[in-house]
C-alpha cells in the first residue's frame, strides 16, 4: 500500500504526520540457539509476526499476502548496530520446523556471527511502495513527518522542482521500539529533480539502504537516425516509467566505458515517447536536438549515455542524523552546488558519503562540480562491505576503462573541518577527480571493532590531480600525506 501520493502539486505543505504499518513485510526474529557445528539455528519470531510453514518452508504472512524472506540484516540486540562484518546474510526459511508457537528451528542455517540474542530482519528484495511519493511537484514542503515503516523508500520524489524537508524522519518509534528496522530501501530518494533539495534536522535510521540518494538518470543512445535525431532508452529495470526531459532542456553526452563527457552541450528540440500502446511503461524515446550532434556520437562504435542537465538540483543536507542503516549514508550526484554540513553519521555500516556516477549498471548520473562537506561527525562507518564502500567518504564513479580515460569525472570537492572516529584505516577514497581539498580534518582511532578493510590507507587516490591535503590530524598528530 502507498500511504500518501502527491502528484502534480504546487506550493503544498504536508506536516505532522506519522506513517506506520501494523504488520510490516520485514520479518523480525531473535536468535535463541546457534549450533554452528551442525548448522542448526533456533529463532523466535517477534510478537507481531504471523507466519505459516508448508513443505518445511517458513513464510511471513499478513492480510491477503505471504512472503518467504530470502535475505537478512543482523542487528546487535542492545545497540541496534548492524552486526560487524556481516552485511547481507542468508536466512533460515527453508528446511525448518516449528518447535512451539513462534519458535522455529532451521536445520540448514550456518552463520557463526549470529550469536544468541542477535536480532535478524528477514526480508525480500522487493520494494514496491514508498511511504510518500512525490511526482511532478513544485515547492513541496514536508515538515515534522515520521515514517516508521515503508515497503520501499521512505520518500520517493521525481521530476520535482524545489522540495524541502524539515524534521523529516524515517525512524523507529522511540528508543524502546521493539522493532530494529524501518524502510525496506532508501530513507529518501530523489530522481530527476531540479531547483533545490533541502533536508534539515532529519533522522534516518535502521533503513535497509541509504539515507538519501540524489541523482538523474542516463539514457543509453540506442540508434542515431540522423545528425540531430537519436533513439534512447532507460536501461535499468528499476529506473523507467516516467518522463526524462522536455523541449528546451539542456543535455550532454558521455562515453560510458571511460565516463568522459563531450565538451559541447545541446538542447532538446522535441522528445517523443515510443511505445506500442498507451498502457506500456515509458522507457524509449525519440529525441531531436536543436544543433547537429558531434560525428563521434555514434552508438555503433561506442556505448554512449545522455544526461539531462536542466533537471539537476542544488542540495543542502544539514543537521541530520544517519545511523544503524544498511549499505551507505548519503549519495550525491549533481553538478549543482551541494552543501553537506553539521550532520552525524553514526554506524552507517558502509560508506558514510558516496559521490558516484554510473552509465553502465545503475545508470545514475552524474558529475559533482561543487560540493562542500564540512563540520560533520563520522562514527565507526565501514563496519560492513557493500557496493562502492572504499572509505568513509568514497568518491567512486563506475568507470570500466579507467586506464584509457583522459579527462576527469568529478571536480570541485571540498572536505573540511570534519571529525572521523574510526576503528579502521580508510577515510577518503577518490577516483577520477580534478580538484579536491581535504583540509583541517581530525581522525581519532579506536578499537571497538577489529580492522578488516582491504584498503589500508587513510587516503587513497586513483587518477586524481590538483589535490590539496593540509592540516589534518590523526590522534592529535599530523596526518602525513603524501606517504613516504
Return the pLDDT at 451. Answer: 98
pTM, two decimal places: 0.97
Do 190 and 168 form a contact (C-beta atoms < 8 A)? no
Please give the C-alpha separations between residue 254 and each of 261, 334, 335, 370, in angstroms, as whole numbers.
4, 15, 14, 19
Q: Whole-angstrom Cα distance, residue 428 to residue 354?
A: 10
Top-tier CATH class for 132-216+312-478: mainly beta
- Name the residue ranges covered by the structural domains of the chain: 27-123, 132-216+312-478, 219-308
Write the CATH number of the domain with boundaries 219-308: 2.40.30
Return the pLDDT at 484. Answer: 52
Cα–Cα–Cα angle for 210, 213, 218, rounded to 5 degrees: 130
Please give the C-alpha separations between residue 170 and each of 20, 45, 349, in angstroms, as whole numbers.
10, 23, 17
Q: Whole-angstrom Cα distance, residue 169 to residue 320?
A: 10
Do the first three CATH levels of 132-216+312-478 and 219-308 match, i.e. the same topology? no
- pLDDT tens readout for residues 133-169: 999 999 999 999 999 999 999 999 999 999 999 999 9
Low-confidence stretches of the chain (pLDDT beneath 50): none
Amino acid at each position: 500500500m502507498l500511504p500518501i501520493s502527491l502528484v502534480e502539486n504546487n506550493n503544498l505543505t504536508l506536516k505532522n504526520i506519522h506513517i506506520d504499518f501494523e504488520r510490516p513485510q520485514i520479518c523480525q526474529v531473535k536468535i535463541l540457539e546457534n549450533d554452528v557445528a551442525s548448522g542448526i539455528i533456533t529463532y523466535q519470531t517477534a510478537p507481531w509476526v504471523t507466519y505459516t510453514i508448508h513443505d518445511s518452508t517458513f513464510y511471513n504472512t499478513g492480510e491477503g499476502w505471504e512472503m518467504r524472506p530470502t535475505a537478512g540484516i543482523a542487528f546487535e540486540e542492545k545497540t541496534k548496530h548492524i552486526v560487524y562484518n556481516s552485511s547481507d546474510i542468508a536466512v533460515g526459511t527453508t528446511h525448518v520446523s516449528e518447535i512451539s508457537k513462534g519458535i522455529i528451528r532451521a536445520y540448514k542455517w550456518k552463520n557463526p556471527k549470529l550469536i544468541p540474542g542477535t536480532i535478524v530482519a528477514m526480508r525480500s528484495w522487493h520494494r514496491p511502495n514508498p511511504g510518500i511519493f512525490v511526482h511532478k511537484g513544485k515547492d513541496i514542503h514536508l515538515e515534522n513527518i515520521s515514517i516508521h515503516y515503508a515497503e520501499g523508500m521512505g520518500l520517493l520524489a521525481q521530476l520535482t522542482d524545489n522540495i524541502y524537508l524539515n524534521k523529516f524522519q524515517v525512524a523507529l518509534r522511540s528508543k524502546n521500539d521493539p522493532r530494529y528496522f524501518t524502510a525496506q530501501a532508501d530513507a529518501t530518494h530523489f530522481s530527476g529533480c531540479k531547483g533545490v533539495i533541502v533536508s534539515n534536522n532529519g533522522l534516518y535510521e535502521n533503513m535497509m539502504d541509504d539515507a538519501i540518494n540524489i541523482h538523474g538518470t542516463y539514457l543509453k543512445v540506442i540508434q542515431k537516425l540522423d545528425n540531430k535525431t537519436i533513439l534512447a532508452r532507460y536501461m535499468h529495470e528499476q529506473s523507467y516509467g516516467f518522463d526524462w526531459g522536455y523541449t528546451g532542456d539542456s543535455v550532454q553526452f558521455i562515453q560510458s566505458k571511460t565516463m568522459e563527457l563531450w565538451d559541447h552541450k545541446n538542447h532538446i528540440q522535441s522528445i517523443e515517447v515510443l511505445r506500442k500502446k498507451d498502457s506500456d511503461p515509458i522507457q524509449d524515446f525519440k529525441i531531436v536536438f536543436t544543433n547537429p550532434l558531434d560525428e563521434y556520437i555514434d552508438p555503433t562504435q561506442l556505448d554512449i549515455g545522455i544526461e539531462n542537465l536542466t533537471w539537476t538540483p542544488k542540495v543542502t543536507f544539514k543537521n541530520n542524523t544517519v545511523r544503524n542503516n544498511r549499505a551507505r549514508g548519503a549519495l550525491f550526484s549533481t553538478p549543482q552546488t551541494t552543501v553537506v554540513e553539521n550532520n552525524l553519521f553514526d554506524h552507517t555500516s558502509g560508506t558514510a558519503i558516496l559521490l558516484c556516477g554510473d552509465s553502465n549498471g545503475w545508470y545514475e548520473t552524474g558529475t559533482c562540480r561543487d560540493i562542500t562537506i564540512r563540520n560533520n561527525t563520522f562514527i565507526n562507518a565501514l563496519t560492513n562491505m557493500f557496493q562502492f564502500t572504499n572509505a568513509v567518504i568514497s568518491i567512486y564513479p563506475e568507470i570500466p576503462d579507467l586506464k584509457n580515460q583522459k579527462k576527469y569525472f568529478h571536480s570541485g570537492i571540498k572536505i573540511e573541518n570534519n571529525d572521523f572516529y574510526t576503528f579502521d584505516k580508510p577515510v577518503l577514497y577518490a577516483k577520477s577527480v580534478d580538484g579536491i581539498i581535504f583540509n583541517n580534518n581530525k581522525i581519532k582511532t579506536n578499537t571497538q571493532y577489529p580492522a578488516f578493510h582491504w584498503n589500508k590507507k587513510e587516503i587513497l587516490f586513483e587518477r586524481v590531480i590538483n589535490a590539496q591535503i593540509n592540516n589534518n590530524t590523526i590522534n592529535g598528530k599530523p596526518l602525513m600525506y603524501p606517504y613516504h
